[in-house]
Structure 1
């Protein structure tokens, strides 16, 4: 598993299969959550092990213009590391071929994607403590509505139960 920031780890999971060229609701929620993750990373003080953030900062981070900038930044970093790429969507090939509409989607490196999901499965579905990073990643997945892409309903129930026990 390569060394990735929290934002990169979430983006790798959240952007996988999302349309890259056009704005849609699913992508909106993922980008909003990526923007929050990026803001949280900047707000963390590792020396004192505290978070310094406020509602105004989160509101500013989730404005559409800022979310687009964060998308460009995070996708560029992941593409440079060869962990994310844009490919032609099969939907574009089938539905919009005659209309000359090009649809591309993000595709995460399958090995790294599985590593991230396996990390979360180990944290939440096996006995043992849950790390702060694992807790934040699951929270990001839930708030972006991507949790269903990573975990089945029975697994989600186990995760909720483990979180409730903390």
Structure 2
């Protein structure tokens, strides 16, 4: 029997996927605040038999989001433990070697790193359900609107929607919030206007925006800065002989290396290009030579692909 996940659990399965389970980061705290915000919505909106008064809901929402933004790190760590323990117990997520640990600088130093990995079928089911509801014609449920807001605010939207799709989402949600005859529109509009990031995370987003505009970094290709962007995934370098190899040879060498270290890896076509799907994310293999103590080292970089 297919398990039904709550809003906060669905969001956790998307936002915690690929994040370190034993290190703090801006992306992780954005995810944890999102989980706290999801629990709030379950309590004051989704869990009620009747809709609250609009003004009452707005007052409680704004005050509660402000409190979530000011929660201390220890409180956020408690949110992580509670959520992760439940999902680990039912198999929704598992703890696996962190992809960053496959970088030459980490594995040669013997550094062990762990991260969360969501069940592939569950992850895809949630993502495809959201995409189908928001990108296709038809009504949008309150739960989907809430989940989409959480995905937007945590920076996860760049992992699951292309630039054009994000633009379509923005247009559709703006129109939805302006539909006076729709009973849920006022509530969705209030939620859609809220943010749960702290000022330091806004600084990171501003830095990345400047980085994008000034340097046109291909690492950020496909990022639509219409929505918040947090660096949830990093490029890594793996050393192996590339002289005399083909593009396919390099992909297979990378796939073999990552598979041996506990990752699910498969090829996937993107137009004329072949990408690697590693666990629940997509990467591009890029040949590269780096220098260590002035000695050239051949290999390839894995670059995150944002649609």
TM-score, normalising length: structure 1? 0.90
Report the equivalent of 1:20. Answer: 21
Q: Is the 8 A contact 1:31 1:67 kept in 2?
A: yes
Distance (whole Å) between structure 1 residues aligned to residue 114 and residue 66 of structure 2? 29
Higher mean C-alpha deviation, range 50-59 or range 68-77 = 50-59
Q: Distance in 1 between matches of 2:92 and 2:25?
A: 23
Cross-structure match for 1:149: 159
Q: Where does residue 253 of structure 2 map in the other structure?
A: none
Please show how residues 61-76 of structure 1 align to structure 2 within 5 Å: 61-62=68-69, 63=71, 64-76=73-85
Give the SS at the match of 2:96. strand
Residue 54 of structure 1: how far off its partner (Å): 4.4
SS in 2 for 1:46: coil
Give the match for residue 171 of structure 2: 161
Match of 2:40 in 1: 39
Which one has the bigger helix percentage?
Answer: 1
- Partner of 1:119 in structure 2? 129
Aligned match of 1:11: 12
- TM-superposed CA distance for 1:39, in Å, is 2.3
Summarize deviations over 1:2-25 as a string: whole Å, max 9, x none.
Answer: 211100000101111111110011
Would the aligned equivalents of 1:40 and 1:53 in 2 still touch at CA under 8 Å? no
* Counterparts of residues 104-143 of structure 1 (less than 5 Å): 104-143=114-153
Larger Rg: 2
Q: Secondary structure at the match of 1:53?
A: helix
Superimposed CA distance per residue, residues 15-40 of structure 1 (whole angstroms, 9 cap, x where no aligned partner): 11111110011112111111111222
Q: Which deviates more from structure 2 when the two are superposed, residues 93-102 or residues 33-42? A: 93-102
Map 1:40-59 to 2 at 5 A: 40-44=41-45, 45-50=47-52, 51=57, 53-59=60-66
- Structure 1, 63-72 or 92-101: larger mean CA deviation: 92-101
| Distance across 2 between alignment mates of 1:58 and 1:155 | 27
Q: 2-side partners of 1:54 and 1:159: how far apart?
A: 23
Q: Distance in 2 between matches of 1:117 and 1:109?
A: 12
Match of 1:30 in 2: 31
How many residue pairs match? The answer is 166
CA RMSD in angstroms comes to: 1.8
Worse overlay, 148-157 or 34-43: 34-43
Structure 1 unaligned blocks of 5 or more: none
- Deviation by residue 1:105-142 (Cα, 9 ceiling, x = unmatched): 11101101111111111111111000011111110011
